[in-house]
A = this chain, B = another copy of it.
Amino acid sequence: METPNLRLGVIGAGFVGRAFVQLLTDPSRQVALVDGANATLEIVGVAVRDTTTPREGIDPSLLVDDPLALAAREDVDILVELAGGTDPTRSWIETALHRGASVVTANKALMAECGTELARLAHDNGADLLYEASVAGGIPIIRALRTSLAGEKINRVLGIVNGTTNFILSQMTSEGRDYAEALAEAQALGYAEADPTADVEAFDAAAKVQILSSLAIGTALHGEAISREGIAKVRAVDVDFARRAGYVIKLIGVVERVGEHGLSRRTHPALIPLEHPLAAVHGAMNAVFVEGDKSGPLMWLGQGAGGEPTATAVMGDVLHAARNRASGRHDVPFSVDDRLTNVDEGDLTSVYYLSLDVLDEPGVLAQVAGVFGRHEVSIQSMEQSGFGSEARLSFLTHEARARDVSSTLDELDQLASVDSIGACIRVIDGGGA
């Protein structure tokens, strides 16, 4: 049987696009690639904004400046979209899918916004829509959820899915930096953008949580906002308290099944016990920790960003799409479970770390403790440290309802003896590992 030839159109030639083209054209990899694809792979065009700028490792004759035309080319079997953004990117992907070409994308924002609709479009046209690189860069978590864990009931997913914030928090932990210093360092090293909002306010992590949730639990991807809290309020004193208490602070994305059909999806900083495998995820690394009903805890760790790691995820998808083409099939889209409903976040329970700056006067602690008690938030441990005329009170609570903690803090904020509320950060349990 002759080996079929498949033609690829690539949109975007940034770090990931260049690394992907270089991987695909590397002579020493051709045997493995043909073997993995059951086909020879040929790039017929790379769409870029400016075709006159030379791109290292890309044959200049391949550069084109019209991504829509590339997506529409009848001889492109697989469109590889690495440009990012939602508009007009969506129209390029739709154009390719409409005519039955498969699409491989790293676009988390677009998948979070309209992944269910795009997946349906792919299916209706007998094509694949694959997006391994959209979550946690080079870590093959998407395929694992779609295949190896397809028959498993997943109860919770905890992800460190944003390398920028993990780098910042790691520097605060290991070097004792405060947030502003660590952010500046991340910017200097190229880990954080000049405008770091998407990372530090957890927009990026939230999109990834939605994609993980769709595969782990079966939620639709149609741009629903989820509960989102970033790391800008995490202070050096919080990191320090956490370490003394046996924890490390991480920004986590959470997908959690609550009861039979309840669901919580959220991002927030959390205290992770030092013995939990996620606590050992340092620097810009990413990890996804999955708690399956029967599989028990599973964790994937790797580089969440970077041109080459992300390009290997794109390549895995391209080989998969190619094998499917060669055998005239395509993956079925993940199924959406219509019975799932978002639970009220106020009803969720957690252990909390709370920090208050109060006047260092007799009776203040009793007053504060009284407020906790009235709202049924019970205290597990307390630490008091004085500075001048003030004192800092740091509490770990027992398991408490979010709405009760919230009303506790509201009432504390009214007290004349409470100067400020410094921290309210959830604590993650166990880990089973």
Contact = CB atoms under 8 A, between A and B. Distances in A.
Interface string A10-23: 00000000010001
Given A294-B308, A295-B308, A144 B138 contact: no
Interface stretch (A32-40, A44-52, A65-73, A185-193): A32-40
A115 interface: no
A61 interface: no
User: Is chain A's interface secondary structure helix, strand, loop, or mixed overall?
Assistant: mixed
Interface centre among A132, A298, A318, A319 (most CB of B within 10 A): A298
B300 A299 contact: yes
Nearest to A279: B280
A143 B316 CA distance: 12
Interface stretch (A87-95, A200-208, A327-335): A327-335
Interface string A262-279: 000000000000010101
Interface string A316-360: 101110000001010010010000000000000000000000000
A99 interface: no
Interface in A59-111: none
B298 A139 contact: yes
A283 interface: yes
Given A151-B29, A301-B301, A309 B296 contact: yes
A140 interface: yes
B138 A283 contact: no
A285 interface: yes
Copies of this chain, how many?
2
Interface string A376-394: 0000000000000000000
A138 B300 CA distance: 13
A318 B149 CA distance: 11
A365 interface: no
Contact of A315 (B152, B296, B306): B152
Nearest to A274: B280
A332 B322 CA distance: 13
Interface of A: 19, 23, 28-29, 32-33, 35-38, 132, 138-140, 143-144, 147-153, 275, 277, 279-283, 285, 292, 294-303, 306, 308-309, 311-313, 315-316, 318-320, 327, 329, 332, 335, 433
22 contacts: A19-B294, A36-B150, A138-B292, A140-B148, A143-B147, A148-B313, A149-B316, A151-B316, A151-B318, A152-B312, A280-B280, A281-B433, A294-B311, A295-B303, A295-B308, A296-B302, A296-B306, A298-B301, A299-B301, A299-B302, A301-B301, A327-B327
Shortest Cβ-Cβ A-B pairs, 6 listed: A140-B148, A36-B150, A280-B280, A148-B316, A298-B302, A299-B301
